[in-house]
Structure 1
Amino acid sequence: MIILGVALLSGSLLIGTFIGNLVGSLLGVDANVGGVGIAMILLILSTNLLARSGRLRPETSAGISFWSGMYIPIVVAMAATQNVVGAVTAGPVAVVAGVAAVAVSFLLVPVLARVKTPGIDEPVEVFVEEA
């Protein structure tokens, strides 16, 4: 069922948002700090756990694949609500953190490309909407 994939994504987003708000309050910032990133990590981990245990159905995978196509526009919309000018003019920390995150991401691409899930020989089936 496609709805299960969407439910898994929604649960990950809610938990990630809660943790992001908690981290923001611990840092003394009135903002969500890393909530979307935490949500994506939770989604990847939970999907991987379901795939390893053989409980990830193609229908569930289709729900996740559908929303993964919407990920970039959602992140762009969320970033538009942030006060980037205020963060950059307040000091170099925002720029350094952004550059460091991008550099680490680029360095981890080859490492993550080599990771294989036992028992899964092919990538997760892509959701194709029929006309």
Structure 2
Amino acid sequence: MVLYGVAALALCMLVGMLVGEVLGVVVGVEANVGGVGFAMIMLVLVTDKLRRMGKFPPASEQGVMFWSAMYIPIVIAMASTQNVVEALAGGPMAILAGLGALAAGAALVPVLARVGEKAEPLPPLTEAEKQEV
């Protein structure tokens, strides 16, 4: 069952990379534009939908959880392949785009912090749940 979680992740990654490549061609950039981000958003949406339908058992979630622990190193490795020197040499547009994304992200933090209702904290784990972890 763990394999199904890894398969869902792999499928989302392939589709996300394809979307990023197509978006890069449409925009006129010779690079993948947001493929990893599209893949992660798709993974969250797909696994949530499958969980709600009861078709994503906890064992399959372990496959996704394993790779979620690997997410940051993978993103860093992918980002290291980007040619930052060429992007900066291309003009101020790269710097403006980065600053714009930073400003938008910073502006959305307080908005996203207010989303949802205040909830009660989760109850402590039972002994059986502690052994599963």
CA-to-aligned-CA distance 1:58-111 (integer Å, 9 cap, x gap):
111110010001011111111111101111221232223333334444525863
Over 4 Å off, 4+ runs = 112-116
Offset at residue 52 of structure 1 (A): 1.8
Unaligned runs of 5+ in 2: 124-130
Alpha-carbon separation, structure 2, partners of 1:110 and 1:70: 29
> How far off its partner does 1:23 sit?
0.8
Change (3 A) 1:29 1:56: same
Please say which of residues 54-63 and 86-95 is displaced more in the overlay.
86-95
**TM-score normalised over the length of structure 1:** 0.77
1:109–1:55 Cα change, 3 Å: farther
Query: In the alignment, which residue of structure 2 is the partner of 1:31?
Result: 31
Name the counterpart of 1:111. 112
Q: 1:62 to 1:110 in 2, by over 3 A?
A: farther
Distance 1:86 1:14 in 2: 27
Percent identical residues: 46
